[in-house]
Amino acid sequence: MPETFKAILVSRDAEKKQSVAVTDLTEADLMEGDVTIAVEATTVNYKDGLAITGKAPVIRRWPLVPGIDFAGTVISSSHPDWRAGDKVILNGWGVGETHFGAYAGRARVKGDWLVPLPQGMSPHDAMAVGTAGYTAMLCVMALERHGILPDRGPVVVTGAAGGVGSVAISILSSLGYHVIASTGRNAESPYLINLGAAEVISRDELAQPAKPLAKERWAGGVDAVGSHTLANVLSMTSYGGAVAACGLAGGMDLPTSVAPFILRGVSLLGIDSVMAPKAVRLEAWRRIGTDLDLQKLASLSTTIGFDGIVDAAHDIVDGKIRGRVVVDM
């Protein structure tokens, strides 16, 4: 009998009603690819929460194993870059959206989608970073390329208690930035300060419709919220500043004007983690290995087992998750 492993399978019926079930699969059930991996750790991102709850059209192939991130060990490979025993990470590339994802004991993917696990980092550590942390590093790299360095002034991080926000604060503070954390959960202020935030402000300050221009408060920002929050962040960004936008927890709309762009020379930097080229991914993970304090990483993450994934997916969409959730498989 072929070896079986547990998997979460999301299906949809003829009326397009979604259902989620734990099932047993074999490697014969996996999709095409030239590398098969034993999944050792994964995580629950906001996008994973949307996929499992069905609150946004993340899944575009039915049925599907969700989960956009994993770390593990190569079992077999016909790809020239990988061989059995290699430790690897996957983020994005449509995995968990159109290709069977992380919420299974095994995964089969294209070798070009993989990056090596950094030296000194365990699969658990890598998933404490996950797509959220990798995206946060892409944001930091984009701000640096635009010249937004610590001496330019404060940097705001919205959705600060979430996965992207928590890792962004940790990285930025370790690099010497004065970080202003914006959160809707005031009780998380001690947590955010422990991560390195110099100031904590209420998201209410950024939640109302934005003025075309407001008082300059920061040189740059990392925004995972969108909508009115991003509009306000842009209106309060100082001359020549930049904001890296990577999320839509508050909405996909952007009710702003051209004023910040043409009167203050502000730049809006779009961050995509799903299809980022391999060279960019390798640099981001190299920087994560050097610029992210693993002790802080441990403090911003919690660990669950496979059986806790579905509940965590609902909690993250409901705003009940702080920092990162690691799933030990």
> Environment class of residue 170 by beta-carbon count within 10 Å: exposed (0-12), middle (13-18) or buried (19+)?
buried
Confidence of residue 169 (pLDDT cuts 50, 70, 90): very high
pLDDT (0 to 100) of residue 298: 87
201-203-205 Cα angle (round to 5): 75
Check if the beta carbon of residue 31 is closer than 8 Å to that of residue 99.
yes
What residues does 104 pair with on adjacent strands? Answer: 7
pLDDT (0 to 100) of residue 153: 98
pLDDT (0 to 100) of residue 1: 64
> Environment class of residue 133 by beta-carbon count within 10 Å: exposed (0-12), middle (13-18) or buried (19+)?
buried
pLDDT over 90 for what percent of the chain? 93
Count of Cβ atoms closer than 10 Å to residue 300 Cβ: 25
Average pLDDT, the chain: 96
| pLDDT of 216 strictly over 80 | yes
| pLDDT of 144 strictly over 80 | yes
pLDDT over 70 for what percent of the chain? 100
Q: Domain ranges for the chain, please list them.
A: 4-117+297-328, 131-270
CATH architecture of 4-117+297-328: Alpha-Beta Complex (3.90)
Per the CATH hierarchy, to which homologous superfamily does domain 131-270 belong? NAD(P)-binding Rossmann-like Domain (3.40.50.720)
> Environment class of residue 200 by beta-carbon count within 10 Å: exposed (0-12), middle (13-18) or buried (19+)?
buried
At 261-303, the pLDDT tens digits run 999 999 999 999 999 999 999 999 999 988 988 888 888 899 9
257-145-112 Cα angle (round to 5): 105
| pLDDT of 256 strictly over 90 | yes
Please give the structure tokens belonging to residue 189: 């202020």
- Looking at residues 165-192, what average pLDDT do you find? 95
pLDDT (0 to 100) of residue 2: 77
Confidence of residue 189 (pLDDT cuts 50, 70, 90): very high
pLDDT greater at residue 14 or residue 89: 89
